[in-house]
A and B are shown apart, each in its own frame.
Chain A
Amino acid sequence: MAEVILKNIAKIYKGDVVGCKDINLHIKDREFCVLVGPSGCGKSTTLRLIAGLEDITEGELRIGDRIVNDIPPKERDIAMVFQNYALYPHMKVWDNLAFGLKLRKYPADEIKKRVTEAARILEIEHLLERRPKALSGGQRQRVALGRAIVRKPKVFLFDEPLSNLDAKLRVQMRVEIKKLHAKLQITSIYVTHDQIEAMTMGDRIVVMKDGFIQQVDDPMKLYERPVSKFVAGFIGSPPINLIKVKISRDGEKFLISEAAGGFKLKYSRKGFDFLAAFSGKNLIMGVRPENIIDRIYAGVKEAENTVPVVVEAEEPMGSENYIHLKTVGGSEIVMKTEGSNRVKPGDRLELIFNAEKMHFFHPDTEKRINEN
């Protein structure tokens, strides 16, 4: 049980290549914290710094009540699960699980007790006499998890543990890891590039890009209030629609018009006050696919602010349907609708955007503009 605190942590490689920089994180005891971002964003580097597999260039790292900057991995009381499982191929599952305990000179009966217990929790008791080669991907991942839990460490580190599994198994293991965390209550730090994994598993999510932290928040806040265009685009599937718009005043109302010339939306000042400063300027408007409705399908008789579009393609999923559309100005929009709402390419629709769920980002800084 321990907190992990990163203070101004940086990793700079030879030739001033930034691995990660200005990392400030306070991971609470028993928390499941997910680091997410595209490849090369510094999430794995950060994890390896916490593990002690790489030296910290700047800053201070605390695990529990100790500063561990100069403490070797084996004394940090952590366990790590690797992407490629990193099972010792020449050892049986039993020995893989017991290896760490043997090195730490635990008594034989304690080793036996712990290995048996871990095997029971992960349901791999029948595999103990096999070698890793004779296991399936999912089984290997369980053994890798087992190797981490036998040591009862203060912190679990996961480095993309599910990315080598097929899609179905991944969903299954995702839940299992969550259950395991609920049962063991050990502080966990989990690295992934998969935003769905991040959203479904994390108590809190750290979104990273180019070595810097973009946002730290719980999953729903991250989804509803992304601080930048990058975070908005990274979280959510299908991804958020980002449209270039021009802001202008029309008496007491604000006019949001497609920058390339196309739809025009008119909203009263209430709730859109923040746009006052951007009158006459361009912004990026973000609307999530599920915050768009098809006027006719929804049965709305008349509406003020509609966006005329043409259907380009649809992706029926059964329970829902993703419709790909194009506006008059050429912006591409994806709408998520009910599975029964079927369309054909070339159909003309009128869309209504949910005005309360709009996101606005600055075109240069790409930072969020609206407060709510």
Chain B
Amino acid sequence: MDVEKIRESLKKTLLMLALILGALVMLFPFFWMLFVAVKAEGHGFKLDFVFAQPLFKNFAAVWNNESFPFSKFFMNSLIVATSGAFMTALFCSMGAYVFAKKKFIFKETLFWILLSTLMIPGMMYMVPQFAIVTKLGWINTYKGMIIPHVANIFGLFLLRQHMETIPDALISSAEIDGASEWQIFKNIMVPLSMPVITTVFLLTFLFQWTNFLWQLVVNTPDSIKLTLPVGLALFRGQYATQWTLLMAASAFSIIPIAVLFLGLQKFFIEGLTAGAVKE
């Protein structure tokens, strides 16, 4: 009996140790980034404890840098990621509602064609998309940065799978209650799909926030619409040795993602596992 107990608790301890180790490995880069970001200039990669005076001097320096307006980059990123994620979530929801609940000719075929585009690597689109954006005169604009990525097949797929599980009777019932098509969408489908919509919103936000290549392509280096990842890259080019500043800038870039994840974690986890088990 006692042997059993000891073995059991030993098992638990080992498991916890493994988990802690995993967590440490995951957290270490973040810790290191923050550690370097608060160190004194020139001490970035030295194993010492010489900190900047005042402690957040590097952050202030980055935020108020004249040649690299990080606050501007930050706002650009926020605008692009938020509006992009919002539009994607909206259009995916509307499309998913139609694919999940409406009858029309070639519906399944069309859906499979859309799905099959997921197999094409994103890079393949870049040249034609760039050509279109140039033709439209959208270089160095928010439009050019956002619109090409608004149609998100994965989000459409995720939402359709979810919306198919919403009983038809609810829609019929709303129809008899007097709801128009838009009201059914707004009052029934959207609230009932909120966890999945949140997931799509978050994933798109994350994608847009960290999107480097496309924003580099549609912006000229002197553009005032540069986003953080592009800005950071240019910054690195110029301040390659000033690790403390670079890390402070990087730290800025993860703030919104961290806030969003912590705030919407509940929805997000729910969304990823939605429909996995029958309730």
Binding site for B on A (CB under 8 A): 51-53, 72-74, 78-80, 82-84, 86, 88-90, 99-100, 103-104, 147, 151
How many interface residues does B have (CB within 8 Å)? 16
**Is B177 close to A, CB under 8 A?**
yes
Given contacts A82-B169, A88-B170, contact A51 B179 (CB under 8 A): no
- Residues on A with C-beta less than 8 A from B192 are 89-90
A-chain residues with CB within 8 Å of residue B183 when the two chains form the complex: 103
Q: Could you tell me the dominant secondary structure of chain A's interface residues?
A: loop
Complexed CA–CA distance, A73 and B178 (Å): 8
Tell me the bound Cα distance from A147 to B174 in angstroms: 11
The chain B residue sitting closest to A104, CB to CB, is: B178
Inter-chain contact B178/A86, CB cutoff 8 Å: no
List the 5 closest pairs (A to B, CB-CB), nearest first: A100-B177, A86-B169, A86-B173, A74-B178, A103-B178
Report B-chain residues with C-beta under 8 Å of the C-beta of A78. 176
Inter-chain contact A80/B178, CB cutoff 8 Å: no
Query: Residue-by-residue, is B176-198 near A (CB-CB < 8 Å gives 1, otherwise 0)?
Result: 11110001000110011000000
Contact across chains for B177 and A84 when beta carbons are under 8 A apart? no
User: Is there contact, CB below 8 Å, between B175 and A53?
Assistant: yes
Contact among B170, B179, B187, B191 for A86, CB-based, below 8 A = B170
**Complex formed: what's the CA distance from A79 to B173 in Å?**
9
Q: A84-B169, A103-B177, A103-B183 are in contact. List 4 more A-B contacts (CB 8 A).
A: A74-B175, A74-B177, A74-B179, A100-B178
Mask for B6-45, Cβ within 8 A of A = 1, else 0? Answer: 0000000000000000000000000000000000000000
Is there contact, CB below 8 Å, between B172 and A90? Answer: no
Q: B172 contacts A83, CB within 8 Å?
A: no
In the bound complex, residues from chain A placing their C-beta under 8 Å from that of B170 are 86, 88
* Contact of A82 with B173 at beta-carbon distance under 8 Å, contacts A89-B192, A90-B191, A90-B192 already known: yes
A339 and B191 CA atoms in complex are apart in Å by 56
Most chain A CB inside 10 Å of its own CB: which residue of B167, B178, B188: B178
Q: How far is the CA of A139 from the CA of B173 in the complex (A)?
A: 18
Contact A103–B173 (Cβ < 8 Å): no
Residues of B with C-beta under 8 A to A88: 170, 173-174, 187-188
A80-B172 contact, Cβ under 8 Å, with A74-B179, A86-B167, A103-B178 = yes
